[in-house]
A and B are shown apart, each in its own frame.
Chain A
């Protein structure tokens, strides 16, 4: 029973920690692109990587102030979105999907390559770039604080606080935008592109704006993650994370302002709970070691996400809060 409570507490902590914020921000970006505009960005993690490395490279390699690093990361994400959107947004939806997934994998390979080592430190990555930010915390960051049976370091709390403020501001922005004429055009593009074009709107420009906005959210997510872990390593930005964010979005409900936020909290809670729970069951001998060893547990989360993604899409594409009519998309 104590184990169970402990597992619940650990899972609860991860549903509120910087990882949940990371996925929430990624998912908010995907929500703008996929949920509202019907764009398939399968490389959201590339934007996050540019955000994280924007800070890391600016601060540790170029010696710039932290906030300049934030701007560099955001600018890099905007440039990437423009580069990706330019050739693909006039084409069918799956071309963007292929181009973005290829870019995400390509950029990661590039960042971890030997030739990029002078800038990105290759597979070892960069660290020690978040001290300026952590120093802004109004409380003592070297101390640990206990909240509801979980232990947080001061730095973690500060990152989580700033991160959740970012998430709230982002959600408010999306809320306001989607009530505006701009948001209505975006939603109609998702429903019927040709009809919007017939009304004289430049569909291409609207799609591009949605892609850029979503990319900026992705970059912010990557920044929170990089600052939260205190390091930026290319292999942290595996493209599987993009699909974790998709799972979070669809779980919460696409095309809903709070869908991605609630979705990521629930997803992280489930994943962490499954993780701790499985490790517990293995160490207690309830699950035999040769069926599933504790080193495999890390992989289980992706299996769960894959399965969950399939089941959700098949049986409940609208997730928890969504509207079924809004998410039945078709590429043709």
Chain B
């Protein structure tokens, strides 16, 4: 309640991030806008000007632009130049109607709204006029292209969720704890990375590694200072679950006090510009994020499959008592799981901060999707978390084909509930766990 204002402000700022702009303008909507051109006006008097272009067709040349007064008198008629620009000098301040000749538009480019616009021009001002154009990538014609783009985005997002969720799932598997404070491990990683990178001026890659170390340390601290003593006291699982909720609240708002309600990006990476790969575009930062995620997840899989500690993790996850009686040091395995989970969550946080900027509640928002992924894959299984998260990530992004962008998380959460109806044990889970 009290921080409602904070949220609203944060969302306002969020709308200005390059990611959102990219999503809205270039990828999702493919909406070409007659953009504002900087002041190159030759006349001292009043002027209206603009640019006609779309993201796919580029600047559009030779379109007739007519400017009339609101009374209907013609002022001038011009055509756009090779850069799609046009400008008309006006006799004075007042209201003018600018219209373009829609029949001249090249194939595949259509008006997004009206062909004309009425603007008010102040004394001595050069007024930019925006006429919305659409290059068809939003409609049925470009549907495939857009679907591929969203699929790629979804895979990136899904890999990111998977990385954070592997730890969540393994912690559940080995200790039975549904850790609602796992999202804060993600945030702590991202925020630690931010302080090292931006305040400390350290290279982003080094900062990421350091953030992972911090994440592992926080994970170890979680286990050693809180959960191990609680297990020793014989605290019930539901009580432990409510404790994790308390921890989540405590950490989340402490982070907000320390870091603030702002959202800020990392420094020193050149990934702002989207590179065209044919059916989809991707920034270098996003590409790096995908590659890092895949490499790390493959490493985790190899570790779980081949190494002694990995096998021990799966054994404890499968049957804790049996593992203990066959000589596995269960507490040590759980400690390693916590450290690994913390490090992976931190890495996930930094990668999420790379694409969406660093915010105090980013982890909590991701947590719900992690739960969706983990539940879909099967609570307690490492590979299930991977598969499930990937599906959730793709589903969330692809769902924007049908539903608006700002409710896409709702789609993911709906998916979670549908899974619980159809197959509560998840894709790779076993029936015995859910009862």
Q: Which residues of A contact B327 (CB under 8 A)?
A: none
Q: Which residues of B contact A241 (CB under 8 A)?
A: 1
B237: CB under 8 A from chain A? yes
| CB atoms of A99 and B4 under 8 A apart | no
| CB atoms of B256 and A314 under 8 A apart | no
| CB atoms of B406 and A310 under 8 A apart | no
Give the A-B pair count, Cβ closer than 8 A.
Answer: 164
Q: Which residues of A contact B372 (CB under 8 A)?
A: 102
In the complex, what distance in Å separates the CA atom of A102 from the CA atom of B248? 15
Q: How large is the interface on A (under 10, 10 to 19, 20 to 34, 35 or more residues)?
A: 35 or more
B433: CB under 8 A from chain A? yes
A280: CB under 8 A from chain B? no
Q: Which residues of A contact B414 (CB under 8 A)?
A: 106
In the complex, what distance in Å separates the CA atom of A210 from the CA atom of B391? 34
Least CB distance, A4 to chain B, in whole angstroms: 23
B332: CB under 8 A from chain A? no
Q: Is the interface of B mostly helix, strand, loop or mixed?
A: helix
State which of A101, A238, A299 has its C-beta within 8 Å of the C-beta of B257: A299
B401: CB under 8 A from chain A? no
| CB atoms of B242 and A299 under 8 A apart | no
Contacts of B236-259 to chain A: CB distance below 8 A: 236-239, 241-243, 245-254, 256-257
In the complex, what distance in Å separates the CA atom of A91 from the CA atom of B434? 6
Least CB distance, B11 to chain A, in whole angstroms: 7
B200: CB under 8 A from chain A? no
| CB atoms of A306 and B247 under 8 A apart | yes
Residue in B closest to A308 when the chains form the complex, CB atoms: B246
| CB atoms of A102 and B404 under 8 A apart | no
The listed residue with most A CB atoms (<10 A of its CB), out of B3, B404, B414, is B3
B7: CB under 8 A from chain A? yes
| CB atoms of A306 and B246 under 8 A apart | yes
B158: CB under 8 A from chain A? no
| CB atoms of A102 and B257 under 8 A apart | no
Contacts of B380-435 to chain A: CB distance below 8 A: 403-404, 406-407, 409-410, 413-414, 416-417, 420-421, 424, 433-435
Q: Which residues of B contact A306 (CB under 8 A)?
A: 245-253
Q: How large is the interface on B (under 10, 10 to 19, 20 to 34, 35 or more residues)?
A: 35 or more
| CB atoms of A98 and B257 under 8 A apart | no
| CB atoms of B375 and A95 under 8 A apart | yes
Known: A115-B404, A313-B243. A109 touches B237 (CB 8 A): no
| CB atoms of A106 and B410 under 8 A apart | yes
B178: CB under 8 A from chain A? yes
State which of A86, A113, A309 has its C-beta within 8 Å of the C-beta of B242: A309
Least CB distance, B406 to chain A, in whole angstroms: 5
| CB atoms of B409 and A106 under 8 A apart | yes
| CB atoms of B254 and A99 under 8 A apart | no
The listed residue with most A CB atoms (<10 A of its CB), out of B8, B178, B236, B242, is B242
B287: CB under 8 A from chain A? no
| CB atoms of A113 and B371 under 8 A apart | no
State which of A99, A106, A243 has its C-beta within 8 Å of the C-beta of B245: A243
| CB atoms of A238 and B4 under 8 A apart | yes
Least CB distance, B229 to chain A, in whole angstroms: 9
Least CB distance, B280 to chain A, in whole angstroms: 26
B230: CB under 8 A from chain A? yes
| CB atoms of B235 and A94 under 8 A apart | no
B2: CB under 8 A from chain A? yes
| CB atoms of A296 and B257 under 8 A apart | yes
| CB atoms of B250 and A310 under 8 A apart | yes
Which of A68-76, A137-145, A157-165, A323-331 makes up part of the contact surface? A323-331
In the complex, what distance in Å separates the CA atom of A332 from the CA atom of B380? 14
Q: Which residues of A contact B421 (CB under 8 A)?
A: 86-87
| CB atoms of A328 and B1 under 8 A apart | no
Q: Which residues of A contact B435 (CB under 8 A)?
A: 91-92
Least CB distance, A140 to chain B, in whole angstroms: 28
Q: Which residues of B contact A92 (CB under 8 A)?
A: 433-435
Q: Which residues of A contact B1 (CB under 8 A)?
A: 236, 238, 241
State which of B8, B256, B416 has its C-beta within 8 Å of the C-beta of A99: B416
B368: CB under 8 A from chain A? yes
Least CB distance, A13 to chain B, in whole angstroms: 17
State which of A95, A107, A243, A298 has its C-beta within 8 Å of the C-beta of B2: A298
Q: Which residues of B contact A101 (CB under 8 A)?
A: 180, 368, 371
Least CB distance, A174 to chain B, in whole angstroms: 21
Residue in A closest to B369 when the chains form the complex, CB atoms: A102
Known: A105-B413, A109-B409. A317 touches B239 (CB 8 A): yes
Residue in A closest to B375 when the chains form the complex, CB atoms: A98
Contacts of B199-245 to chain A: CB distance below 8 A: 230, 233, 235-239, 241-243, 245
Q: Which 3 A-B pairs have the closest CB atoms?
A: A306-B250, A309-B246, A306-B249
